[in-house]
A and B are shown apart, each in its own frame.
Chain A
Amino acid sequence: MNFTPENIIFIGVLGLLGAGLYGLLVSRNLIKVVVALQILVKAAILGLVLAGNISQQINLSQSLAITVIVADTVVAVIGISLAVQIRRHLGSLDVIDVATLRG
């Protein structure tokens, strides 16, 4: 395997994807869940830019990447604010406590 820029970025995408999924699988703290989600989305954005570079459609990939960044920010903000509300109402940030939907 050659260490061309594309390959290095591809490994980066896979690494971010793995880190994000691992975080989602194991973390029980809601804030950590949001952080893991962010890492996952960053992998997706990087993947988009990489795909644009390979297929020579830079414009399309960049505009898609910016769209994802905007959507992702909204997700992060709402996720954090939900976490704050849950903490206030349930006194806990544990996803297993939240899953019962009692409060």
Chain B
Amino acid sequence: MDTDTLLVLLTISIPWLGGICVWLVGDRHPNIQHRLATVFALLGGIVSLSLLQYTQGQTVINIPLGGAFGDFTLVLDGLGAYLTIIAAVIGGLAVIFSNDYMKGENQLGRYYSLTFLFIGAMIGLVLSGSLLFVFLFWEITAFCSYALISFHNDDPKAVAGGIKALIITSIGGVGLLIGAIVVYAYLNSYQINDLLVGAESLPPSVLGLIAFGFLIAAAAKSAQVPFQTWLPDAMEAPTPISALIHAATMVNAGVYLLARFYPAFEAVPGWRMTVMLVGMLSALLAGIMAVVVYDLKRTLAYSTIAQLGVMVYAIGAGAILASQFHLLSHSVFKALLFLGAGAVIHAVGTRDMREMGGLGKQMPFVRVVFIIGAISLIGLPLTNGFVSKELILEAGLEHTPFLLFALVMFGAGLTALYSTRMVWMVFYGEPRGEKHAHDAPGAMRFSLALLAFGTMTTWLLIGPFSQFLANSLPPSYEIEVVKTWEVILKVISTPATWVALLVAFLGASLWFLRDRFAGFVASLQPLADFIRGGLGFEWINQQIIRITKGTAAAFRPTQTGLLSWNVFGIVGGLVILLVLIVWGV
């Protein structure tokens, strides 16, 4: 077996082995569970990093399964490899963070084994070269997400949030499955590479069906408009899970899917415009919602939707490199923000920002790392968010209609406003809570410090990152190899950056001038309540549930439970089928 095959198999199997081992240890030995999980997390992260050396876009595993299942393949290329590293490394850090965060919780075996199952499945999803297995891993990650959101299964809100996430992402998954089956029907292969090569030979209507099917799947997974409602409700999950699944990895799967198939779909009429619109609307609406909510984690969830929207918008604009680099930056700084929020929530015991305030003095370390994350989220210099976001805005200014660009820019201003509001409400001002908070303990600090370091340094990787992607991906992805210093100079000198910084400054200063506008803000209170209710999307969800339940109730009388009627139905169905066959339909 070649080294690269062995390493790929190890990166997938180490988390899964870890999951089984931690589960087998049993919940009576929580200390052993914590330590074992840490060992596997570190091991998985280190092995995944070694993939960097072997990534050349080659197929490392190819097992023919026969029949309609096609071949099971794992392809090691730049896009898959860097997402693997994100999943393994940030997954590892989240597991280490859990050492402190989940201390004293029951059923750690369930918690850790599901987390490890998720990490392995996520790696499988991004490395898989077969659409059928992309779908399989896609659904495994959805299941893990559901089970971990509902981890506290005695809390009805957690259970409801988990089921909501499962239903919405599964509905999207249908789009992926239909696309995969259509690809198989026309190309007689599930291989992604075959689709990329053979896309031009497909009839335009079929290619359009696949393209929009995949877009629905991506929008549902990445919580884009109109499927975004599940992500805020998913915040009932333990915070390390929010950081790992709902910020750094799983929600990126949609962006990954769009980027992966961009060369095949870019020629589909209206597809790129739809992608840009979905991204822009998500960035804008989620930004508006983030400004009004009081729940710390929900604020972060809305900002995740907004940032994912920016990435989707970048793909629509054709800037694959910029979108993927922002994905990398976002994974790092959003994991940092979520874990920082986790440390705060762990110390204060509430998620409501109205009950926090003035925590900076009690938790100086968390304040520093959280502010680093927030600066990166806003996109200020010296952080990874700055470089990646400016790359996207620059591409947006060049390749998209000005109105779209302006709206995305407005979203960036909102980002500055709600980030400042969040930092201020949590760490500054008068203490509003009664409980005295302690600063983060050791394992938490380790994860936070590493992520903060990453937030301040990964922007230096833009040069090697572009080289890495360009070397192992086909030229159809249009990845331009750049040098780090050239990019920095270009970013500093381009007008988009200065406009963005100005907008960010305006957004942030709006928060400090809030007293001037007090009367105006008060008059907007009904509007804010409407936004907090989910901007009407929640109402649409409720209507869909109501209609589904009503239809089901209407069909209830057909379920008599009587054997004779059921047999009659079967025979009747058979007769109809026979008639159709004889007729030759």
Contact = CB atoms under 8 A, between A and B. Distances in A.
State which size class the interface on B falls in: under 10
A33 B563 contact: yes
A48 interface: no
A66 B571 CA distance: 26
Interface in B559-577: 560-564, 567-568, 571
A100 B563 CA distance: 12
B114 to A, nearest CB: 35
A24 interface: yes
B567 A101 contact: no
B567 A99 contact: no
Contacts of A25: 564, 567-568, 571
A21 B571 contact: yes
A21 B567 CA distance: 8
Nearest to B568: A25
A99 B571 contact: no
Interface in A89-103: 95-96, 99-101
Interface in B259-317: none
B567 A95 contact: no
Q: Which of A25, A33, A100 neighbours the largest number of chain B CB atoms within 10 Å of its CB? A: A25
Q: Which of B562, B567, B568 neighbours the largest number of chain A CB atoms within 10 Å of its CB? A: B567
A26 interface: yes
Interface residues of B: mostly helix, strand, loop or mixed?
helix
Contact of B560 (A33, A99, A101): A99
A4 B571 CA distance: 28
A99 B561 contact: yes
A100 B559 CA distance: 12
A28 B564 CA distance: 8
A99 B568 contact: no
Contacts of B560: 99
A28 B571 CA distance: 18
A95 B568 CA distance: 15
Nearest to A23: B567
Nearest to B567: A24
Interface in A45-103: 95-96, 99-101
A63 to B, nearest CB: 19
Q: Which of B562, B563, B568 neighbours the largest number of chain A CB atoms within 10 Å of its CB? A: B563
A80 to B, nearest CB: 16
A96 B560 CA distance: 10
Nearest to B571: A21
B562 A96 contact: yes
A95 B571 contact: no
A27 to B, nearest CB: 8
Contact of B562 (A21, A26, A99): A99
A25 B574 CA distance: 14
Contacts of A101: 561
Interface in A1-32: 21, 24-26, 28
Contacts of B563: 24, 33, 95, 99
Q: Which of A24, A26, A95, A100 neighbours the largest number of chain B CB atoms within 10 Å of its CB? A: A24
Contacts of B562: 95-96, 99
A24 B560 CA distance: 16
B565 to A, nearest CB: 9
Contacts of B561: 99-101
A76 B429 CA distance: 76
B555 to A, nearest CB: 18
A26 B560 CA distance: 16
A33 B571 CA distance: 16
Contacts of A26: 564
A21 B573 CA distance: 13
A77 B562 CA distance: 22
Contacts of A24: 563-564, 567
A33 B561 CA distance: 15
Interface string B182-216: 00000000000000000000000000000000000
Nearest to B564: A25
B469 to A, nearest CB: 50
A78 B152 CA distance: 39
Contacts of A95: 562-564
Interface string B543-585: 0000000000000000011111001100100000000000000
A33 B563 CA distance: 9
A6 B571 CA distance: 25
Contacts of B571: 21, 25
A100 B571 CA distance: 23
A25 B563 CA distance: 7
A28 B563 CA distance: 8
Contacts of B568: 25
B569 to A, nearest CB: 11
Interface string B525-551: 000000000000000000000000000
Interface of A: 21, 24-26, 28, 33, 95-96, 99-101
Given A24-B567, A95-B562, A95-B563, 17 more contacts: A21-B567, A21-B571, A24-B563, A24-B564, A25-B564, A25-B567, A25-B568, A25-B571, A33-B563, A95-B564, A96-B562, A99-B560, A99-B561, A99-B562, A99-B563, A100-B561, A101-B561
Those 4 A-B pairs whose CB atoms lie nearest each other, nearest first: A99-B561, A24-B567, A95-B563, A99-B562
Interface of B: 560-564, 567-568, 571
22 contacts: A21-B567, A21-B571, A24-B563, A24-B564, A24-B567, A25-B564, A25-B567, A25-B568, A25-B571, A26-B564, A28-B564, A33-B563, A95-B562, A95-B563, A95-B564, A96-B562, A99-B560, A99-B561, A99-B562, A99-B563, A100-B561, A101-B561
